[in-house]
Structures are given as structure tokens and as C-alpha cells.
Chain A
């Protein structure tokens, strides 16, 4: 199983770009990297997913180096509403392996 490691917490001011890095040294060939956002008393919500290089959507970018042993979630110009816990997920549906591994999450606090 690919174990993930993230910073426990981060602080940022409004309007800044925030980069959260996740380490997954034992990532398997079939594994995808997915990031989720969770607000208090809610279930996690999908943000972005990637396999290699760079992926961008309307809310974030995901950077994955060639060795795929880490990934970086980039949130442009954060606002107070981005205060949440962000989880890095590594997993695949390859034959015989359906285990999913969530990191412990990074608590992002956006300061006015």
C-alpha cells in the first residue's frame, strides 16, 4: 500500500497561492493521486485527480513529478472559504488491490 505523508497544518493569507505537498514514495504503477477537501461536519469533496505531469481544473492545479513519489496541490488566490482539511489519496482499482490510502490531511487556515 502506498502510504502518504502531508504537513499537518498550513496558514496562508487571503489572496495568496497555497501549495500543499504529499509524499507517496511507494506509489504503484496503477495508482492515481486524488485530492479531497473536507469542511467540518461534512464528507470530503473531490478537488482534482492526476496520474502524471500537471492537471488543472477550475479550482486547483496538481503537479506530479516524473518519479511520481510526491504531488503538489496548488490553490490559487485562496479565500477564507478555502479553510478546510485537504486529503491526499493514492489508490487504484488494479486487480486484487482495492485498498485506498488517505493521508492524515493538511489543515489549511486562511487568514484575513
Chain B
């Protein structure tokens, strides 16, 4: 079946604008994760969904960041009033469930550039 897909693949936006990043997880995967990867850096955990609920939002860097997941499937990460430091690759991953022993499948990422 299809893997995790993300859109858009690239997004260039002006400072102060809002952006929405979309993630389509693998069908049947109940757990969904968002990460951020700045140039040459490791992965920074942002938020985790189990179904439609997000038990842990503590990784979101500021209140300009929010995420939702509807129907236990598609997730949207929204960044309001973008800043240049938001420029990074935003990666989404899904896994079959949240139990220990999970394997996360990553999408190709959305490269966000804030000018």
C-alpha cells in the first residue's frame, strides 16, 4: 500500500504569514507524529496523536504552532505568523499503534522556507 505522504513538498512563505502542512498517514495506523528537522540537525519531536487526540503537545515550540487530526487519519500542522526560525523540514510519521515495539514510517517531509 501507499506510504506516508505529505504536502506540499516545498513551501516558501513570507514572514508573518500562516502556513498549513498536511500529512496522510498509512491507512490503519492509529499513531501519528510530527517532527521538525533544521538544516544539518537531528529530529525534534513536536507532537504525537493517538487517534484524534494529542496526549502530548509539549514539543510544540510556541503557541504559534498547532496541529489537529480528524477522522483518525489526515493531520494538519499549522504555523501562524511564521518567523524565519521556523524554516526547516517538517516530517510526519505514522505507526500501527502506540504500544511498545512500534515502528514509525516517515513521509518525505515538507521543506518550509520563511523569507
Contact = CB atoms under 8 A, between A and B. Distances in A.
Given A44-B106, A46-B103, A93-B99, A102 B43 contact: yes
B45 A100 contact: yes
Place the interface of chain B in its size category: 20 to 34
B1 interface: no
Contacts of B48: 98, 100
B53 to A, nearest CB: 11
A94 B98 CA distance: 9
Interface in A59-74: none
A93 B103 CA distance: 12
Interface string B18-50: 000000000000000101000001111100101
Given A99-B45, A102-B45, A43 B106 contact: yes
A98 B98 contact: yes
Contacts of B100: 30, 32, 51, 92-94
A102 B59 contact: no
Contact of A102 (B42, B55, B102): B42
A46 B98 contact: no
Nearest to B93: A43
B65 interface: no
Given A98-B55, A98-B56, A104 B41 contact: yes
Interface of B: 4, 33, 35, 41-45, 48, 50, 55-56, 58-59, 91, 93, 98-109
Q: Which 8 A-B pairs have the closest CB atoms?
A: A43-B106, A93-B98, A104-B42, A98-B56, A102-B43, A98-B48, A46-B103, A100-B45
